[in-house]
Amino acid sequence: MCAEPIGVSHSHVVNLDSRALMCGCRACYLLFTDEDAQLRYRAVPERYLHFTGLTVDGRAWDELQIPVGLAFLFRNSVQDRTIAFYPGPAGATESELPLDAWEAVVESSPELAELRPDVEALLIRRSAGSGGSCHLVPIDACYELVGQLRTLWRGFDGGTEAHAAMDAFFTRVADRSRPAAGIVAP
């Protein structure tokens, strides 16, 4: 943003109008951390949480109209709605999420309401054996996963390399996550 050189490890901000992620030095990042400020950019926090016992059952998943077992959802403040994306060979694909279906999921699990608009996402993975997992993650982590899967995707379901990359990614997310229980919504 300011042309200051940045290293491999750096922070991101989101342009709220274009949804573009921008790399930033620490000083630029800190300019956009006030969540109540009416700014064009918002800093992406580094918070990782996991929701123990939270699952989205098959019926609820079908109502969300997500055709695969992995998706991330976030609140877009400009459009004033929740948006869902899922990975595929072309990158992130937007699902037209019916708001009433998502509202029913949040109503049954109110702890999901603590998601910070535009900069945090709920990363949900359905698994046949374990019921799946749900994590609150920085939005840039979701796009990192989508980019990685895009380069590895083979065939209809992604193939063994993509599934191994997903497993490794979710292991890293689980290692970074802390329990969401007892967290007060912002």
Give the pLDDT of the chain (186 residues) as one tens digit per residue.
788 889 898 999 999 999 999 999 999 999 999 988 888 999 999 999 998 766 566 777 777 777 778 889 999 999 988 888 988 888 888 887 666 777 777 787 777 778 899 999 999 888 765 567 889 999 999 999 999 999 999 988 888 999 999 999 999 999 999 988 755 443
> Distance between CA atoms of 71 and 85, rounded to whole angstroms?
6
Query: What local confidence, expressed as pLDDT, does residue 37 receive?
Result: 83
Would you state the pLDDT for residue 185?
A: 40
* Strand pairing category for 178-179 and 49-50: parallel
